Structures are given as C-alpha cells and as structure tokens.
C-alpha cells in the first residue's frame, strides 16, 4: 500500500514535501495506523536527534491538521502516535470553530499543503458539559460556550444521554462550520483537494467514532 513509504520517520525526502507528499486518503490511513499502534500499546519510541532539529529548523511539513479540545487527555500526537512536525494541531476548549481557529487551519492548508483536517471531539467533554449546565457564564467562557449551545439544543431533541449526544452534534456541526466559514476550505472540499473528518475519541476505550466527512 502506498502508505508504506510514509511510515519511516527517517525518510527525509518525503518528510520535507508539502503534506509529506500524502493524499488525503493516505494521510487518514497514516492517522489510523498510528491510532492502532496507540490502542495496541505499540507506540513508537520517538527520539529527536540533532539532525531532526536541523530539519525542523528549515521548515515544517505536517501531513494533517487537527482541531481538538484542549483537554489534557486528548493529545493528538499521542492518540495518533505521530512525531514532532507531523501534525499541525489547533487546540481549544470544546474544539470550537472561531476566527482564530479557522485562520490557523487555513494556514496549514494553504501554505503547508495539508489535505486532511480532523475535528476531534471527545466523550465527557468538560466544555460541552458546561454548555449544558449553564447559559449564564460570564466573559470569555460565556463567548466560548455560545459556540456549543446550538449542539446542545439539537441534542435536547434526541433520545439518549444528553452529554454524549451533544458531543456528537457539536463535532458534526464544527465540521460543517469549518466549510461554511472558510471559502478557502469550501473550495478545496468541493474540488476534492481537501477532506474534513469529524471524530469522537472515547476516553475509556481509546476508540474513535467517525461522525461525518466533507470532501
């Protein structure tokens, strides 16, 4: 399979191509390969040599961009078993889609050649829990929670656990918002150059649940 060539972290030629030379399909296979290693307790023993640092100093060539929650338990580099320079990661409580998050992802797509964006929410997300608990939060937290209220309202019309449903609705909504709010992302999704995938990470089992895909 074509992903074989991308697995060796010492393959400097591939590592220094935009998006590490991976198609959106192969980029996701590499994510899944790494996640399997994580689940199987086979994470690579990543070392950083002086040669690696010199290479990083020349430029960055991540193969995927992640919008994830700031929660300390959901580090994409750990969960997807990737090394320094492999993932362009934007983390914010509740993985909300605001202007700064969109701008950061647009940079990875337009300037670094990333063809895969993953929005990763997670079970028992504290930000979503807060959005369920209150509509009265003050200041900056209140502004952040406003980004999650539409998903909570959507989930309230469904049968089942409200938090779990709201987490799911929120991730799906974040994927759609990214496409709607960024003409750059929308055009690339439409012409097939970019894929945006919404995932839920389960803290207990470590499993990933794919919610929705655009592109």
Q: Which residues bind Zn ion (CB under 5 A)?
A: 69, 71, 125
Closest distance of CB 10 from Zn ion, Å:
34
What does DSSP say about strands 64-68 and 87-91: parallel, antiparallel, or unpaired?
A: parallel
To the nearest whole angstrom, how small is the minimum distance from the Cβ of residue 127 to Zn ion?
Answer: 5
d(CA 198, CA 211) in angstroms, rounded, equals 5
Q: Which is nearer to Zn ion, 120 or 178 (CB)?
A: 120
22 or 171: whose CB is closer to Zn ion?
171
Residues counted in the chain: 215
Structure tokens at 132: 């369920």
Task: Give the rounded distance of the alpha carbon of 78 from its chain centre.
Answer: 12
* Closer of 56 and 129 to Zn ion (Cβ): 129
Tokens of 43: 């994470």
* CB 88 to Zn ion: min, Å: 19
Q: Which two tokens stand for residue 81?
A: 């078993």
Nearer to Zn ion (CB atom), residue 16 or residue 130: 130
Report the nearest approach of Zn ion to the CB of residue 101 (Å): 14
Of the candidates 170, 214, 208, the one whose C-alpha atom is nearest the C-alpha of residue 192 is 214
Can you read off the two tokens belonging to residue 65? 């961009």
């Amino acid at each position: 399979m074509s992903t074989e060539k991308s697995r060796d972290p010492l393959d400097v030629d591939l590592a220094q191509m935009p998006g590490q030379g991976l198609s959106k399909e192969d980029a996701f296979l590499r994510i899944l390969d790494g996640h399997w290693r994580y689940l199987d307790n086979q994470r690579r023993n990543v070392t950083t040599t002086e040669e690696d640092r010199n290479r990083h100093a020349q430029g960055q060539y991540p193969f995927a961009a992640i919008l994830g929650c700031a929660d300390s338990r959901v580090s994409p580099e750990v969960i997807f078993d990737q090394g320094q320079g492999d993932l362009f990661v934007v983390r914010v409580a509740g993985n909300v889609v605001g202007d700064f998050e969109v701008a950061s992802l647009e940079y990875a797509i337009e300037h670094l050649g990333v063809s895969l964006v993953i929005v990763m929410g997670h079970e028992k997300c504290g930000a979503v829990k807060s959005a369920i608990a209150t509509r009265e939060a003050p200041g900056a937290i209140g502004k952040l929670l406003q980004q999650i209220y539409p998903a909570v309202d959507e989930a309230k019309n469904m049968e089942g656990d409200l938090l779990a449903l709201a987490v799911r609705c929120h991730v799906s909504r974040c994927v759609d918002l990214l496409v709607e709010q960024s003409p750059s992302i929308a055009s690339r999704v439409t012409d097939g150059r970019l894929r945006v995938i919404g995932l839920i990470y389960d803290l207990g089992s470590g499993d990933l649940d794919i919610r929705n895909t655009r592109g």
